[in-house]
């Protein structure tokens, strides 16, 4: 092969590697295929949520930050629910179900609240151990972001508006 041919081949290979790296780093992982069971016994699968933007919030009744942020989670849900948005609050494994039910009823949480008695949901979402941990899933079922701690709700709302506007 000529010197020019070698240079072209190297340039093509470099471009291919760069494209593959870009695609890898910008790929969004699919949300895990799980079934949430609400406090009312309703089963909700991640596949049944396709076409909606979904916020999944791992929380606990004994988590100070979780309790502090919950009114904002409620406000976010109320703001976007009529636009194809769903929220599922997943109580952590250690949280006694009666505490979760009491908190949910007392605070009139308007969205789905699920228990994770065996920790399978937390494990499926990447070994969630700290609360709050929040995920945003787009309409195609891909995880857009993972937020550890209380979200910046202004930025979260911008992201939700963007994702709700996508087809």
What secondary structure does DSSP assign to 63-119, as a single string?
-HHHHHHHHHHHHHHHHHGGGTEEEEEEE-TTS-HHHHHHHHHHTT--SEEEE-TTS
For residue range 26-51, list pLDDT tens digits in order.
456 999 999 999 999 999 999 999 99
The model carries a pTM of 0.82
Residues sharing a CB contact under 8 Å with residue 96, sequence separation 6 or more, in sequence order: 61
CATH code for the part of the protein at 31-165: 3.40.30.10
Kindly tell me if the per-residue pLDDT of 9 is higher than 70. Answer: no
For residues 58, 63, 64, 70, the Cα torsion angle rounded to the nearest 10 degrees is: 30
Domain ranges of the chain: 1-28, 31-165
Which among 98, 86, 72 has a CA at the least distance from the CA of 135?
86
Q: What stretch of H or E contains 151?
A: none
Q: What is the pLDDT of residue 165?
A: 93
- DSSP annotation of 163 reads H
pLDDT value of position 7: 64
Query: Which among 121, 84, 90 is positioned nearest to 104, based on CA atoms?
Result: 90
The predicted-structure confidence for 90-121, as pLDDT tens digits, reads as follows: 999 999 999 999 999 999 999 999 999 999 99
Rg of the chain in Å (alpha carbons): 20
């Amino acid at each position: 092969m000529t010197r020019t041919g070698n240079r072209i081949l190297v340039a093509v290979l470099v471009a291919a590697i760069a494209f593959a790296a870009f695609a890898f780093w910008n790929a969004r992982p699919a949300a895990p295929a799980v079934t949430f069971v609400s406090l009312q016994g309703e089963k909700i699968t991640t596949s049944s949520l396709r076409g909606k933007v979904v916020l999944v919030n791992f929380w606990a009744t004994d988590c100070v930050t979780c309790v502090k942020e919950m009114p904002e989670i409620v406000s976010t849900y109320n703001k976007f629910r009529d636009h194809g948005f769903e929220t599922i609050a997943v109580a952590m494994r250690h949280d006694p179900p009666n505490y979760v039910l009491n908190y949910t009823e007392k605070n009139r949480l308007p969205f789905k609240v699920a228990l994770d008695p065996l920790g399978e949901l937390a494990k499926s979402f990447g070994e969630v151990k700290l609360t709050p941990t929040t995920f945003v899933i787009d309409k195609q079922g891909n995880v857009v972001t993972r937020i550890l701690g209380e979200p910046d709700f202004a930025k979260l709302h911008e992201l939700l508006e963007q994702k709700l506007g996508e087809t």
